[in-house]
């Protein structure tokens, strides 16, 4: 498994369009079958030496037996990708290498990690290496559609009494251009993630002919409700991992910003206000957010709606709870004719500690990316690793790849690409992480 073979394996996996879908009828099963076959062809030793359990339709759970099973670790990735979006410079599933860059859907999310982990393990197996601890590889097949494969992997581990010492999954990266004026890349390690909850606001009425409207019909009530909600943000504050992120970035920030960033703990109110004012993205770092997404009223222009609905996608910040947030929605809407139907509910993930396991990840970042500043942070997006918090307090979200702002924005969008050297650094990072596991 030399560098060329690792890159070729990533190209091969990117070429297989493993697009997941909430409706199983829309999933190209043959593509997923092919991806598993391709993995086996490219990583024969992983498949010979590790014990494999199939999970869900195409999820894989490998166990690499170490010298001890006292502190097992789980390395995660997912096989599925999101569909084609936007106009690509190179075809979405080309896997083409142009000027030292691999192009295609999944290079960053999340086949880079999938292939990176496999390549690292394959290399170590060639050398006859035995890890100090059991290493589990958990590869899901429906992460992008909140599918069940990670839940089933957690169940499979739980049934075997496995309590991971730590879990590492996608999430953060070696992010350049992370903060204005901070030149050093930040190795952001997600120590918690927001909880995704969705509700539908619904008003029922008598409907009828549009020529005889009553005041404040269902559609108008829904409009009032969403305006009220939009005008009632949750209180903002800066959670502990964000304080630490600012503290660590502070040393690399422009002189004028240093004092406030390095004293982020004491300057919390000021920092909170600055983030709220700095735009939608920084503001989302400070609180639970509500996005009004879907909207529906009458089926025709001359009909009064019998039912009007608005969908609200809620991202719950660590510190808040589903119950508390629903209470906030009820109070903000302040209208007992507006029903709040909960479509899905997820609490935010607990904050993983910054102890020995975190320090191992951090130390491995410093070793492979000496210019980077490792730091904890709060992830805004959801990952499969949230399910692992049920069996493990230390869940870290970090993919060891250098990513520019443009690259981070290409995830779930168009022109997703990963540098060949960046990918190979990632393979080395995964390898070192395994080699450094303590006895």
Positions that interact with Zn ion (CB under 5 A) = 109-110, 170
Comparing CB distances to Zn ion, the nearer of 170 and 347 is 170
Query: Min. distance of Cβ 410 from Zn ion in angstroms?
Result: 13
Whole-Å CA distances, 224 to 100, 174, 219, 336: 53, 43, 9, 13
Query: Min. distance of Cβ 21 from Zn ion in angstroms?
Result: 15
Residue 176 to residue 184: CA distance in whole angstroms:
7
C-alpha R_g of the chain: 23
Comparing CB distances to Zn ion, the nearer of 109 and 122 is 109
Comparing CB distances to Zn ion, the nearer of 110 and 320 is 110
Query: Min. distance of Cβ 4 from Zn ion in angstroms?
Result: 26
Secondary structure letter of residue 348 according to DSSP: P
Burial state string for 255-275 with b = 16 or more CB within 10 A and e = fewer than 16: eebeebbbbbeebbeebbebb
Comparing CB distances to Zn ion, the nearer of 74 and 220 is 74
Comparing CB distances to Zn ion, the nearer of 170 and 362 is 170
Residue 428 to residue 368: CA distance in whole angstroms:
8
Residue 2 to residue 383: CA distance in whole angstroms:
30
Cβ contact 365:374 at 8 Å: yes
Nearest to 38 by CA among 90, 101, 114, 147: 114
Comparing CB distances to Zn ion, the nearer of 112 and 218 is 112
Comparing CB distances to Zn ion, the nearer of 10 and 332 is 10
Q: Which residues contact 335 (CB under 8 A, 6 or more apart)?
A: 221, 224, 225
Query: Min. distance of Cβ 388 from Zn ion in angstroms?
Result: 15
Burial state string for 240-254 with b = 16 or more CB within 10 A and e = fewer than 16: bbbbbbbebbbebbe
By three-state DSSP, how is residue 15 classified? coil
Query: Min. distance of Cβ 360 from Zn ion in angstroms?
Result: 23
Comparing CB distances to Zn ion, the nearer of 110 and 122 is 110
Query: Min. distance of Cβ 6 from Zn ion in angstroms?
Result: 20
Burial of 160 (0-12, 13-18, 19+ CB in 10 A): exposed
Query: Min. distance of Cβ 438 from Zn ion in angstroms?
Result: 29
Q: First-to-last CA distance in the chain?
A: 26
Query: Min. distance of Cβ 15 from Zn ion in angstroms?
Result: 18
Residues facing residue 289 across a β-bridge: 315
């Amino acid at each position: 498994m030399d560098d060329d073979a690792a890159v070729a394996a990533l190209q091969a996996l990117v070429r297989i369009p493993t697009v997941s879908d909430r409706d199983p009828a829309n999933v190209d099963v043959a593509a997923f079958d092919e991806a598993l076959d391709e993995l086996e062809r490219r990583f024969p030793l992983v498949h010979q030496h590790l014990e494999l359990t199939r999970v869900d339709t195409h999820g894989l759970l490998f166990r690499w037996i170490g010298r001890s099973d006292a502190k097992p670790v789980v390395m995660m990735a997912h096989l599925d990708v999101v569909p084609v979006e936007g106009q690509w410079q190179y075809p979405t599933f080309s896997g083409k290498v142009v000027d030292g860059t691999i192009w295609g859907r999944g290079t960053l999310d999340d086949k880079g990690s999938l292939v990176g982990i496999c390549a690292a393990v394959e290399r170590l197996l060639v050398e006859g290496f035995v890890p100090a601890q059991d290493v589990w590889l958990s590869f899901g097949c429906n992460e992008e559609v909140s599918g069940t494969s990670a839940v089933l992997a957690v169940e499979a581990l739980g049934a075997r009494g496995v309590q991971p010492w730590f879990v590492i999954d996608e999430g953060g990266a070696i992010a350049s251009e992370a903060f204005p004026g901070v030149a050093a890349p930040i190795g952001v390690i997600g120590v918690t993630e927001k909880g995704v909850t969705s509700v539908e606001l619904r008003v029922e009425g008598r409907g009828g002919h549009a020529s005889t409207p009553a005041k404040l019909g269902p559609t108008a009530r829904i409009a009032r409700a969403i305006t009220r909600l939009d005008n009632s943000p949750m209180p903002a504050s800066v959670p502990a991992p964000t304080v630490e992120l600012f503290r660590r970035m502070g040393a690399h920030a422009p002189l004028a910003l240093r004092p406030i960033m390095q004293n982020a703990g004491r300057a919390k109110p000021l920092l909170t206000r600055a983030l709220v004012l700095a735009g939608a993205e920084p503001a989302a770092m400070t609180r639970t957010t509500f996005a009004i997404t879907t909207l529906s009223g009458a089926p025709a222009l001359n009909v009064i709606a019998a039912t009007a609905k608005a969908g609200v996608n809620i991202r719950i910040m660590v510190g808040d709870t589903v119950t508390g947030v629903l209470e906030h929605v009820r109070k903000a809407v302040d209208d007992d004719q507006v029903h709040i139907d909960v479509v899905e509910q997820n609490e935010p993930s607990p904050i993983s500690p910054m102890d020995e396991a975190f320090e191992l990840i951090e130390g491995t970042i410093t070793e492979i990316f000496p210019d980077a500043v490792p730091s904890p942070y709060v992830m805004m997006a959801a990952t499969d690793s949230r399910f692992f918090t049920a069996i493990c307090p230390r869940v870290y979200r970090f993919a060891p790849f250098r990513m520019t702002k443009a690259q981070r924005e290409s995830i779930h969008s168009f022109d997703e690409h990963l540098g060949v050297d960046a990918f190979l650094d990632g393979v080395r990072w995964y390898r070192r992480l395994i080699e450094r596991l303590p006895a």
